[in-house]
Each structure stands twice: as structure tokens, then as C-alpha cells.
Amino acid sequence: MGSEWRKGVLSEIAEIVMGQSPKGKDCNENSDGLPLLNGPTEFGPSHPLPTQFTTDPKKYARVNDLLFCVRGSTTGRMNWADQEYAIGRGIGAFRHKLGSAHQPYLRALIEYHLPTLLQSATGSTFPNVSRNQLLDLEIDIAPENDSGAISKVIGTLDRKIQLNRQTNHTLEKMAQALFKSWFVDFDPVIDNALAAGNPIPPELEARAKQRAEVLAQAQTEAGKPSQENANSGEGDNNPPAYLSPEIRKLFPSEFEETEELGWVPKGWSIKDMTDLVDTVSETYPLKSVDKVIFLNTGDIEAGQFLHENYSSVDGLPGQAKKSIRQDDILYSEIRPKNKRYAYVNFEAGEHVVSTKLMVLRSKGAVSSKFAYFVLSRTEVLNELQRIAELRSGTFPQITYKELSLVNVVIPDDQEILKLFSSLILDVYYKQQFHLQEQNVELEKLRDTLLPKLISGELRLPSTADTKPSLKATTP
């Protein structure tokens, strides 16, 4: 491909496979066949989370291909293929002709030229880009050594950003495990009941036996109960089995039977989610700003925000309307099982969200953190998915009204709720927020470097160097 920078088009360095959708009768959600991608609904922070499969794939993406949305309001969204996928007509798969080591450079090229590409897209309401438009995209082509060096630098930054996201995902799971232990499995109440010799309901006997074994093992290993040694044995994301006497005394030591949820801690109340949160729809003052951070349903996933990119107000899709605040819950109305939800743990004055995202806000009696962990439970998502399919099978969707079908048990002692919120904030969310801030800085660095690297303004040593340093040259 030459040894000097030169003008050219994308087809000189890349191959593109445009997707083709299989027939509906050949698609399923039962993991039968090859995972199918139709658009960014299945995109995750780095690679897809497929929900559909097909037994008759038409077009394929290979491992390490760059997946690119070519249709609709999300044109330009990208993910990496971590396995072979069938791709529908909303997806294109890019691969560098020099191999996967040059894929980060290819992605950086496309990101850099994305505004130009979107300007050339057809469609008055939603942009669409064709194969020819992609292949004919005019670019500055870097020689092989420079392409490899750019891939190394951009790839390193991308991997660090992804590692931080994975760590935040782990922290999210740990916080959910604490919620489940206290408010679903009722572990502290079981511990108190065992200590007091109170009867254990038949439905909770298996959990009580497990708790007794775990606590006994912890005492044997440590000589006394220890938070450092007393893990529940069910996985690294579980909270410590042992709770201090100060915490345990906040919980009751008996259970009572209810019609809605069976056996629950004595004295606790049963509410539905509409008792805890309101749905709010405050229109964002778009006429007062030039740009905002727009979030659609595909821009959040399992508690994570997938981008912090600004968009021009003039180019926003019609569903960009709602304002959000810190402590709000964002919850997709579409296909609950896709886990498009997030808790807003930051000042959000520059964010505007799609009308397809419910904005849920605490009514005050119970914190939005507590409500968020109820709504993010797998069992709740599965039940809401079932309800959504009954409402509208072809396009499963829920509304705020369906949240009234989600019941939850609330402690009578507000100190328990305050303690839970404090632990979540201090132990988990502070770490998450730190990593999110770090990612913002890394993304700023990446955005600063990218145009200089892609244009050749900043040149790098060859890929043989372990730690390439930057030096400015004339391209």
C-alpha cells in the first residue's frame, strides 16, 4: 500500500459487507442458529449482546469486524464483532485489508470522517448510507507502519476505556448482589431468626441452611465472624455473609406470610413501583443551546452510559425531548429484556433523552437507588418482557402503567434504607463515578489525538517500538 501518506478512498484499504435480513420465519429468540444483528438495539459498550438468532443467515460478520449502523437515526454507531454474526440490512461489517491489527486505525478513520459521511447520507427523516458511499469515502491513507502505530495508540486507549467499563459493570453486579441479599433473600432476617431460634418458613429453609453453613464456616476459618473471610460462596459478586451486630439489629427476626409475595420480614410493607416512582416528562429547552448529549434507548445498557458525545441540536431526531436530573432512573419502554436502563449518578444538565426512555423519579419516601435495583433485577425484567409481549407481540413495549404490576417489600425501619443507600454510594458508586470521570478524560485525549493522527499531523514511530512517542511533522 506504499510507504508515504497519500489521498485515496476507503475501498483501497477496507472491505465492506452490507447486511441482508433473513426471512422472519427463519428468526427466533431461542438461540437456534447464528446470532443475528439488525441494528444498535443489540449493541453493548464494546461488542453486541444478541437477542435474536437465525437458521438461515444471508450475510456474515467475522470476529474482529467493525460493525457499523447504516440506517436510521443511529447511523454511525459502532461495535466490535466478538464472534461470527449474521447481519441484517441495518448493519455493515468493515475489515482492514491488512488484517485485524489495523482495525483500530480503520475505526478511527471512519470516526474522523463520520460528519462528512452523515452529510452525504440519503433520507430526509433518517439518514441511510450505501455501500458505494462508504467505499468512495475520501481519506488520507497512512502507510502500513503508520497505520499499525496509530492502531496501537488508539487501541490502547480504547482497551483502557473498555476495562473501566467492565470494572463498572462488576461494581454494578456487586451492588445488585447486596440488594438481593437484603431485600430479596432476606439474609439478615434469616440470620436473626436463626440466632433467636424463631421458626423459618418452609420456602426459606434451603436459604436458611445455606446461611447457617456459611456463617459457621466463617467462624471456623477466622475464629470469629469476619467480613474479610465470610463470603457467601456463590460468586465473587456477592456481599459478605457476615453483618455487624449494629446492622443486624435493624432487621426483624421473624417472617409473616402475605398474599402478594409469600413470606416477608415481619412488619415490612408491600408496595408497587408506581408507589415509589413517578414518570416525568420535562421538555428540554433545545432552543437555548447549540449542542447536547442525546441518549436514545441504545445508548444505555445494564446501568452504563455508552457515550458522552455532543450532538448538534439541529441534527437531533424528533424523539429527542426530555430533560433528566441527577438521581433519575432511565428505563426503556422497548423490550425490557435488552437491559436498556441506567441510574443517573451525575449532574445531567446537558443531557436530553428519547421519548422511548421513561424518566422515573423518586416520590420521596424511598430513594431512587432502591427503586433502581428493583427494576434492574433479572426476574423483574423477564416479567416485564412477558407483559410487553402480551401487550404488543410484534414490538414488545411497556408503559409506566405496567410498573404497577411490580411488587416490592419495603422495610419499616427507614434506617435500613438510609444505610443501604449510603453503602451503595460510598462503596460502589464513588468508584464507578471515578472511573467514569477517567473515561471522560481518556475519551478527550483520544478525540484530541485522533484528527492529528488520521491526518498525519502527528507521526508515530513504527509498530516495533514498545512505547511510541508523538512528534509533529508535516504530512
Whether the pLDDT of residue 261 is over 60: the answer is: yes
CATH code matching the domain that covers 275-405, chosen among 3.90.220.20, 1.10.630.10, 3.40.50.2300, 3.40.640.10: 3.90.220.20
Find, among 40, 49, 45, 84, the residue nearest to 65 by Cα: 84
Per the model's pLDDT, the better-predicted residue between 467 and 368 turns out to be 368
Write out the three cell numbers for 168.
463498572
421: pLDDT confidence band, cut at 50, 70 and 90?
A: confident
Q: What is the C-alpha to C-alpha distance for residues 449 and 224, in angstroms, rounded to an integer?
A: 54
Instruction: Name the class of domain 1-141.
Output: alpha beta
User: Which residue has 474479610 as its cell numbers?
Assistant: 228
Write out the three cell numbers for 255.
417472617
Write out the three cell numbers for 373.
435495583
The full set of domain ranges for the chain reads: 1-141, 275-405
Question: What's the pLDDT at 33?
Answer: 95
Question: Across residues 324-328, what is the average pLDDT?
Answer: 95
| Mean of all residue pLDDT scores within the chain | 86
pTM of the predicted structure, to 2 decimals: 0.76
The per-residue pLDDT for range 142-160, each reduced to its tens digit, is 999 999 999 999 999 999 9
Instruction: Tell me, yes or no, if the two domains 1-141 and 275-405 fold the same way.
Output: yes
Question: Across residues 420-448, what is the average pLDDT?
Answer: 86
Whether the pLDDT of residue 233 is over 80: the answer is: no
Question: Across residues 430-447, what is the average pLDDT?
Answer: 88
The helix (H) or strand (E) run that includes residue 150 is: helix 144-183
The helix (H) or strand (E) run that includes residue 276 is: helix 273-276
Question: Across residues 79-101, what is the average pLDDT?
Answer: 95
Question: What's the pLDDT at 226?
Answer: 45
Question: Across residues 393-403, what is the average pLDDT?
Answer: 88
Share of the chain above pLDDT 70, in %: 90
Identity of the residue numbered 157: L
Find, among 71, 153, 134, the residue nearest to 317 by Cα: 71
Whether the pLDDT of residue 432 is over 90: the answer is: no
Question: What's the pLDDT at 382?
Answer: 94
